[in-house]
Chain A
Amino acid sequence: MTQRTRNFLLLAPAGTWFLLMLIVPLSVVFIFSFGERGSAGGYVPAFTFEQYANLPARWAAFRNTMTLAPIGTLAALLIAYPLAYFLAVKVSDKWKMMLLVLVIVPFWTSILIRSYAWIFLLGGRGIPALLEWIGIESVRLINTPFAVLVGIVYGYLPLMVFPIYVSLDRLDKRLLEASSDLGAKPWRTFLQITLPLSIPGVATGCMLVFILLMGEYLIPMLLGGGKVFFVGNALVDLFLQSRNWAFGSAVAVTLVVVMLITVTIYMRFISRVSGTREDVALI
């Protein structure tokens, strides 16, 4: 067996699978987005831009996604950065690994059950009951944008901490010593050395969280209670309830395109700021 045949045989199953289950279905979505809705739902072949012209009907979903996803990403960043800094710079090597694993582990457990936990905590008998007990009455937390934001930060915090930790951990600590030896105040060392050198990690973390948030369905569904809905919720509605496949496909294609554009612009911006780009493994 030549090297060529061997490689071909090794790649064949994965290649076929990607072709049949990724490329073909995505192409179908693309083609369907130019079609029309059948009278009983589903899809009728056509070539029209009608579905795209209809997009403003779901404007609210796009608007919510494009406001809450960046806000959620930013909130996660602000909470994650100090923790990542603490883990990378202040903690002794003995504890580092364990504390880091403790941050990552929740990310790999069911997001459904973790969001459910917050229904429990933010619901009438959770935190609002506690607040009432100390005298703050009739606070409504569940089914508000705030609840969705809490769910987002809770769900994606680990994903933000990890890349920032990696970039801070790689940072040459002698630079920090040099800076303080030369008389710089701690905050100045942070602003001029630590922060700029950790930008690649920050960029990776923000991008990962943002990408996942764009397609989010569960968190707004469970914690927003139908009042705060994302594009994901619109998609579930269009495909599983009203069975409007053509319009749903157009929404899906638009979501992916908006995502790609945002990510591309963002990457350009980041590489201009930091000059480098790095990928980190998530496990």
Chain B
Amino acid sequence: MRIYATIVYLFLYIPIGVIALFSFNAGRHASQLQGLSVKWYGKALDNPFVMDALQTSLVVALISATCASVFGAMAAVALQGIKGPVRTAFDGLIYIAVMIPGIVIGIATLIGLVTLFDQLNPMIAAIWPDGFKPPKLHMGIGSLVAAHTMFLMALCIIIVRARLSGMDRSLTEASSDLYATPMATFRQVTLPLIFPAILAGFLLSFTFSFDDFIIAFFVAGSETTLPIYVFSSIRRGVTPEINAIGTMVMCVSLVLLITAQILLRRGDKQAR
């Protein structure tokens, strides 16, 4: 049993380990280890395409994770107190957002927004004062943020709601028995208790957005995110540079994930 578990853990971590090991390869060939060096990290960080893609990914991840965690938390708090058709509608929306494959969300956003922009662009041009170049709506960072936020909002609602339902109800009851206004109860009791969940939602959303390939592939327009850059490089062949980028991306994800895990566990203990 123990041997079996060890084998499965090796299966899970050897591929990651191999990538990390070969990212330190001094040689030019991806698959022959010829001494260790960090030169491919330098090469990757010097590559303007990589840095551009990294910047786009970071901007998109930051904005969409912020919007998703704030709006998601707001919705989760409101949903906790209501029943009836609105609640059912939101449950349905969250279910659809999570169930529909990412690729279909990407496609739907692409053709939905392109169709909308085709309608809007002539209208904007018509009302724009003569002599000025009218702005043209197109796919890019904006559409990417909008699509990511939609999906991640569903994730954040689920996370915050799990925390809210695990919360000891007597805390808020005690607060209102002691004549706190609903607002004061929210600020001093509920918010501190759900804050770790909101933060964890933010971190998971950030990781997801940063790592997402399939939605970005459809809706990024002419923008390149880091996963799109990595994907197109892989199709051109395996290089030590990709190993270095991959290792860096993994490390960033790991740090964020472990922080999120710690936050969720600590919060669980507090709420009880």
Of B45-53, B149-157, B169-177, the stretch lying at the interface with chain A is: B149-157
Query: How near does chain B come to A57, taking the closest CB pair, in angstroms?
Result: 18
Q: By the criterion of a CB under 8 Å from any partner CB, how many residues of chain B are at the interface?
A: 83
A32 at the interface (CB under 8 A from B): yes
B100 within 8 A of A: yes
Instruction: Annotate A243-283 by CB proximity to B: 1 below 8 A, 0 otherwise.
Output: 00100110010011001000000000000000000000101
Tier of interface size on chain A: 35 or more
**Which residues from A are CB-within-8-Å of B264?**
283
Contacts of B250 in A (CB 8 A): 109-110, 113
Residues of B within 8 A of A197 (CB): none
Interchain CB contact under 8 A, B153 and A101 = no
Shortest distance from the beta carbon of B94 to any chain A beta carbon, whole Å: 8
Interface string of A215-232 (1 = CB under 8 A from B): 101100010000000001
Nearest-Cβ distance from residue A78 to partner chain B, whole angstroms = 11
- Give A40 Cβ to nearest chain B Cβ, in Å: 13
Query: With an 8 A cutoff between CB atoms, is A120 at the interface?
Result: yes
Name the residue of chain A whose CB is nearest to the CB of B243. A120
Tally of contacts, chain A with chain B, CB under 8 A:
226
Name which of A18-26, A46-54, A170-178 contacts chain B.
A18-26
- In Å, the complex CA distance between A84 and B152 comes to 28
Task: Name which of A133-141, A187-195, A233-241 contacts chain B.
Answer: A233-241
Q: Are B104 and A82 in contact (CB under 8 A)?
A: no
A83 near B30 (CB under 8 angstroms)?
Answer: no
Q: Across the interface, which residues of A come within 8 angstroms of B258, CB to CB?
A: 101, 105
Does B214 count as interface, using CB distance less than 8 angstroms? yes
Contact A116 B234 (CB under 8 A): yes
Given contacts A86-B5, A110-B246, A117-B18, contact A17 B149 (CB under 8 A): yes
Task: Judge whether B260 is part of the interface by a CB distance below 8 angstroms.
Answer: yes
B44 interfacial contact with A, CB 8 Å: no
Contact A112 B227 (CB under 8 A): yes
Instruction: Decide if A28 touches B115 in the complex (CB within 8 Å).
Output: yes
Complex Cα spacing A176 to B30, Å: 51
CB-based contact A29/B75 at 8 Å:
no
Q: Is B137 an interface residue (CB 8 A)?
A: no
Q: A110-B250, A283-B261 are in contact. Are A11 and B30 (CB under 8 A)?
A: no
Among A99, A110, A123, contact of B249 (Cβ-Cβ < 8 Å): A110
Which one of A6, A83, A245, A281 lies within 8 Å of B5 (CB-CB)?
A83
Which residue, B30, B110, B158, has most C-beta atoms of chain A within 10 A?
B110
> Per-residue 0/1 for A138-152: is the Cβ within 8 Å of any B Cβ (1 yes, 0 no)?
000000000000000
Do B103 and A117 touch (CB < 8 A)?
Answer: no
Whether A25 contacts B103 by the Cβ 8 Å rule is no
**How far, in whole Å, are A222 and B90 apart by their CA atoms in the complex?**
36
Residues in chain B near residue A44, CB distance under 8 A:
none
Residues of A within 8 A of B (CB): 3, 6-7, 10-11, 13-15, 17-18, 20-26, 28-29, 32, 43, 79, 82-83, 86-87, 90, 99, 101-103, 105-106, 108-114, 116-121, 123, 125-126, 154, 157-158, 211-212, 214-215, 217-218, 222, 232, 235-236, 239-240, 245, 248-249, 252, 255-256, 259, 281, 283
B residues at A contact (CB < 8 Å)? 1-2, 4-5, 8-9, 11-16, 18-19, 22, 30-32, 71-72, 74-75, 77-79, 81-82, 86, 90, 93, 96-97, 99-105, 107-113, 115, 146-147, 149-150, 153-154, 157-159, 162, 182, 200, 204, 207-208, 211, 213-214, 217-218, 227, 230-231, 234, 238, 242, 246, 249-250, 253-254, 257-258, 260-261, 264
**What would be 12 A-B contacts, judged by CB atoms less than 8 Å apart?**
A10-B78, A14-B72, A18-B153, A22-B97, A43-B115, A86-B5, A108-B257, A109-B207, A112-B227, A114-B16, A116-B230, A154-B11
